[in-house]
Amino acid sequence: MAPDVLKKRTVPVQIKMDHRQFINALPSEVRQSLTEKTDGPGLVALAFHWGSIMFLGVLITARVPYWPVLMVPQGILIVFLFTALHESIHRTAFRTPWINDWVARINGFLLLLPPEWFRYFHFAHHRHTQDPEEDPELASAKPQTWRDYIWHISGLPVWWQQCTTVVRNAAGRCSDRFIPAAARGTIRREARTMLALYAGLLTLSLALGTSWLLYVWVLPLICGQPFLRLYLLAEHGRCAFVADMFENSRTTFTNRIIRRLAWNMPFHAEHHTFPTVPFHRLPALHELTSVHLKETANGYIPFNRAYVSSLKR
């Protein structure tokens, strides 16, 4: 599909629409161009992301001068594999299905987040975005006080949730209503495989008497999690409990570095509007949706500053 298809303004800009009206108004050739999958952009993004993690890991292992400082950017890079995992479970990051599946498994393992379980969790979030009764992301309330906010951005609640999820799933006690009965066996095997691999790595580290995994992976994860919490809070925090994706999801305008780190997920309202659009086509989708967006923020620092100012003391 010729790229100039998307250069034409195909939706009347003077008419405000909700996301369903917008999708219905898109010509079929534009939809086809937006949703076309390819492996190239995803492989480049993955090579950059994984390569940066390995590069910093080598520097930390080599104990270069001031190496402990490197654990913070290392942690940010690792926790933002969440966005690569997110794209992979949508199976839009790559055209080749098995690449999506293995990228999801590897990133999920590194993040202590079972990818098959997360796929069901996340698709329920898409079906019921900002529905207080059905959206699993709303099972834990967004911060309403300073204490809530600090506790939230510490990352401790999410680590507890993910650890208990893996253990519960491995024990065959998964009771999440978004997991169909037919998938519970797969969810159990996935969790048991993850626990076996974690145990194997721990045993190997102890046998070799090395602590490099602690400094290259575990501690950086803990250091990086607050940055991911601050980022994710902007996606739906303080958005309306309505069905319109232009209103219940927020697009955050930010710089190219963060967009690349987050696999273009700052275009979050666009992603919720049309989830089958690959990450590398979201900027093109934004050009079409920009006039209709109802929730935007000019950066993550301004968003969190405004969020904090609204907290109860």
Angle at 179 between CA 110 and CA 149, to 5 degrees: 55
Q: Quick check: 37 and 95 in contact, CB under 8 A?
A: yes
Q: Which pLDDT belongs to residue 13?
A: 47
Q: Which pLDDT belongs to residue 312?
A: 76
Q: Which pLDDT belongs to residue 67?
A: 97
Give tens-digit pLDDT for 30-70. 999 999 999 999 999 999 999 999 999 999 999 999 999 99
Whether 283 is covered by a domain: the verdict is yes
Task: Provide the number of structural domains found in the chain.
Answer: 1
Through-space distance between the first and last CA atoms of the chain, rounded to whole angstroms: 54
Whether 208 is covered by a domain: the verdict is yes
14 versus 207: the higher-pLDDT residue is 207
Q: Mean pLDDT across the chain, nearest whole number? A: 94
State which residues form the domain around 221. 38-309
Q: Quick check: 44 and 94 in contact, CB under 8 A?
A: no
Q: Which pLDDT belongs to residue 7?
A: 43
Whether 27 is covered by a domain: the verdict is no
Whether 11 is covered by a domain: the verdict is no
Whether 1 is covered by a domain: the verdict is no
Tell me the pLDDT band of 15, cut-offs 50, 70 and 90: low
Whether 156 is covered by a domain: the verdict is yes
Whether 77 is covered by a domain: the verdict is yes
Output the CA–CA distances (angstroms, integers) from residue 245 to 135, 177, 204, 284, in the order listed. Answer: 14, 23, 47, 17
Give tens-digit pLDDT for 240-262. 999 999 999 999 999 999 999 99
Give tens-digit pLDDT for 134-187. 999 999 889 999 999 999 999 999 999 999 999 999 999 999 999 999 999 999
Strands 296-297 and 251-252: parallel
| Alpha carbon distance 76, 261 (integer Å) | 9
Whether 20 is covered by a domain: the verdict is no
Tell me the pLDDT band of 16, cut-offs 50, 70 and 90: confident
